[in-house]
Amino acid sequence: MKTNLVSRVALGFAVIAPLTISLSGTPVAQAADDAIKIGEVGSTTGSEATFGVATHQGVELAIKEINATGGVKGKKLQVILLDDQGKPEEAATAVTRLITQDKVVAIVGEVASSRSLAMAPIAQQYKIPMVSPSSTNPKVTEIGDYIFRVCFIDPFQGFVMARFASENLKFKRVAILRDVKNDYSVGLAKYFTETFKKLGGEIVVDQSYSAGDIDFKSQLTSIRGAKPDAIFVPGYYTEVGLIARQARSLGIKAPLLGGDGWDSPKLLQIGGKAMEGSYFSNHYSADDKAPHVQAFIERYRKAYKDTPSGLAAMGFDAMMVLSDAMKRAKSLSSADIRAALAATKEFQGVTGRISIDQQRNAVKSAVVLKVVNGTFVYDSTIRPG
């Protein structure tokens, strides 16, 4: 068993400690015996560590609030988080362990589509409901009727950025640089291309890399030769930050465009000034003035001394949607939880109103954020349909 047990957090307690990463696998606290166990799988280490940490903090805040208001069916919830280190095979091991050893009633996770795709067949096989907070590749929920998500999917996200590039920015010629090792990146590049061409745009060069690469100069040199208006880079923050720096050092001034995989404070640490003026689509903006969003931000800041990212908001919403379904379910059997999840309608989340459709996806708006003076600034909202 290579999977690290990151934390076993018993959330029947009044005060929740901030995420305790115990690589030795020591339980942080033991649960009350009759707590309802929820499994969570995330990358709390590795090159996408901020995804797992931020999501877990959102999940933890939700659990704390649910337990403080009576729990579910008179019982407290307990979340058991396992770190997959950003590796699909570890995510598969983790979900198997949560189901067969810890006997969780439901799973929250993963963020990254490639890891959710490794977990979903196992959850489906054991008929344990799985709710991904933020995996956007369409294939994830197609795995089976126990697999749900509370976010939009990439055909929509690709449409959002293509329309934004074409209509808002008036761009005609875009280059693509995709991560071929990442299902999310490959899918999003494809959906962006489809809409951008429909809107009269041209993909002037299409290049690729593999997650973990650190030198992108040869791809960027051919992109520079094509003189694009922008470069669409639907990858994760570590590589995107490096790509931005190398693009600027090669004299490329065109902005980068991307998707939710950019959502990390590390993007700005790694990319620095090279990220200025670039845009990406996301699930939520901390600039949203809606009272329930600002109230969430305030509670989160109090708990973690940090502004919640989109991932934290999605983790919070995923846990809240799951507990709402468990409250409505006839019993806590997996079939009843599954049926209640499928019946979710107009749930008011931090990231928008969540209704689960026939394909077990949520249909929601996206926001476009711009990098300005080293922060993510709200630019616009694009609605589905």
Q: Residues 6 or more apart from 103 whose CB is under 8 A from it?
A: 37
Place of tokens 């051919």: 222
By CB under 6 A, the count of residues binding ligand PHE is: 14
The only residue of 261, 271, 315, 349 in contact with ligand PHE, by rule CB under 6 A: 261
Task: Choose between 78 and 351: whose C-beta lies nearer to ligand PHE.
Answer: 351
Structure tokens at 209: 């890399």
Residue 334 binding ligand PHE, by CB under 6 A: no
Give me the 338-377 binding string for ligand PHE, x by CB under 6 A, dash otherwise: ----------------------------------------
What are 164's strand-pairing partners? none
- The length of the chain is 385
The only residue of 60, 179, 263, 324 in contact with ligand PHE, by rule CB under 6 A: 263
103/37 Cα distance (integer angstroms): 7
Of the candidates 294, 286, 307, 284, the one whose C-alpha atom is nearest the C-alpha of residue 364 is 284
Task: Choose between 307 and 333: whose C-beta lies nearer to ligand PHE.
Answer: 307
Residue 219 binding ligand PHE, by CB under 6 A: no
143/135 Cα distance (integer angstroms): 13
Applying CB under 6 A, the span of 27-35, 129-137, 171-179, 199-207 interacting with ligand PHE comes to 129-137
Residue 310 binding ligand PHE, by CB under 6 A: yes
**Cβ of residue 298: shortest distance to ligand PHE, in angstroms?**
22
Residue 136 binding ligand PHE, by CB under 6 A: yes
318/148 Cα distance (integer angstroms): 10
Applying CB under 6 A, the span of 60-68, 133-141, 335-343, 359-367 interacting with ligand PHE comes to 133-141
Applying CB under 6 A, the span of 72-80, 108-116, 315-323, 333-341 interacting with ligand PHE comes to 108-116
Distances in Å between the Cα of 314 and the Cα atoms of 59, 216, 258 are 9, 31, 19
DSSP string, 149-213: ESS--HHHHHHHHHHIIIIIS---EEEEEEETT-HHHHHHHHHHHHHHHHTT-EEEEEEEE-TT-
Residue 112 binding ligand PHE, by CB under 6 A: yes
DSSP 32: P
The only residue of 7, 78, 135, 219 in contact with ligand PHE, by rule CB under 6 A: 135
**Cβ of residue 324: shortest distance to ligand PHE, in angstroms?**
21
In the complex, the residues that contact ligand PHE under the rule CB under 6 A are 51, 111-113, 134-137, 184, 260-261, 263, 310-311
